[in-house]
Structures are given as C-alpha cells and as structure tokens.
Amino acid sequence: MASLIASDKNIINVNTALSTILGNYVDDGVGITFDLPNLDNLPTSPTLSVFLYEIHEDLRLRTGQSRSLTSDSTTGAVTIAPGWVNVNCNYLITYWDSTASSSDSDSPGSLPDNQAIEVMNQVVNALVNNRTLPGLSGSYTRMIAPKDELNSLGNFWQSLGNKPRLSLYASVTVPLMLSAAVPVPAVGVLTTEADLGQNVSKPGKTS
C-alpha cells in the first residue's frame, strides 16, 4: 500500500490560531466551540460558536507561487520546490446561551450592554487586532458581509429552528503549500571540444 502524501495543515492551524486570539479577548466564562450548537440541547453556559462553513481557493488574490527549480550548492542535486496557493476559510461566529428571551426592558438580555453584545464586541476587537494570525505567516483576517447563500438571515435562522441573533462573518486567507519538493533526475552533460586550425599567410606570399 502506497504511503499517504503529507497534507499541509494550515487550515487546521487557522482554527487553532483563532481559538488562541479569541481566548485572549473573550471573557473567561465563555466557552468557544468550532461547531454550531445542537438546537435540541442548547449550551447551559455562555458559548461562542466559530463555525467554518466554507473553504475555497482565493482566485482574486493572485500572489500564489508556482513550483520552481532549486539546487543544492553542496551536492548539486536539483529539486522542484513546492509552491503555494491562497485559500479562504469563511466563518459564521455567533453567541449562544440558555437565557430565556423576555419582553421585560429590565432583563439582562434587553440591556444595551447585554452579554451577547459584550462578547461579540470582544470578538471584533480580537479580529481587527490580529490581521495576521499568530504562527501563520501570510495569513490575513477580515470581517466580511454575509455570503449570498446566507443573505436571507430570516430563512437561515428558521432553518436552524431558532430566533435570529447577532452574527459576525469572518474570513481568513491562508497560504496552503503544494505537495513536497520533488527530486529532478540527473541528466548527463555532453561536452564537445574542437580544435580549430588557424591559417596564417606569411607576408609577401600568396596561397
């Protein structure tokens, strides 16, 4: 059985880096999950959902690098170096808790500084202050408008069986390396030597 080709783990690294920066900004009592909560069993404690809903190659950012030849100055070995492409990871970020909704203007959820807004404000600060994610050179983080397929928020939340809530859409562009360097077979070099005779005429003589 052929061995598997190692995959670049930068998409997984994006999740790890987001967990790190959000943990630095979001209140300690708020859990962070990388999935949508189960609507039949909502979190009993405050939870921030960071849901990766789309991955695609970024064709607008034309800074990818194709493969190139490199040589080892010591051994003379030539390899085809791996290149890289840019990939977009798009996230839907929402805050969840088990607090029942209330029409009472004095309830915690009705206040202008309710916990959902506080937490999402912390998320915004985490994203705008970490345009490049830690440990991910070449990454770029930004907030984006809802994608077309998520544009009808009423239908979207209805499909989730829950009332609408404050949402934030974030996109992380990250370089993804192509597969490992490939050695180039050595090619023999043919050297051709030739002696060229020089016909020099002596003065006063004709040939």
> Angle at Cα 126 formed by Cα 120 and Cα 130, nearest 5°?
150
- CB neighbours of 4 closer than 8 A, spacing ≥ 6? none
Reported as a pLDDT band with limits 50, 70 and 90, residue 41 is confident
For 194, the token pair is: 């030739």
Q: Residue 199: its pLDDT value, please?
A: 52
Do 22 and 126 form a contact (C-beta atoms < 8 A)?
yes
Per DSSP (E only), the strands in 25-166 are 31-33, 47-57, 68-71, 78-81, 84-96, 140-143
Q: Residue 65: its pLDDT value, please?
A: 45
Q: In what order do the strands lie in the sheet with 182-183?
A: 68-71, 78-81, 182-183
- Among 18-32, 100-114, 137-151, 173-187, whose mean pLDDT is lowest? 100-114
Give dist(CA 70, CA 79) in Å, integer. 5
Q: Is the pLDDT of residue 68 over 60?
A: no
For the chain, domain boundaries? 10-180
Reported as a pLDDT band with limits 50, 70 and 90, residue 155 is low
Q: Is the pLDDT of residue 183 over 60?
A: no
Q: Is the pLDDT of residue 158 over 80?
A: no
- Among 38-42, 129-133, 187-191, whose mean pLDDT is lowest? 187-191
From the candidate CATH numbers 3.90.320, 1.10.287, 3.90.550, 3.30.2000, the one assigned to the domain spanning 10-180: 3.30.2000
- CB neighbours of 207 closer than 8 A, spacing ≥ 6? 199, 201
Q: Residue 66: its pLDDT value, please?
A: 47
Q: What is the pTM of this model?
A: 0.70
Question: How confident is the model over 154-173, as a mean pLDDT?
Answer: 74
Closest CA to 164 of 112, 101, 91: 101
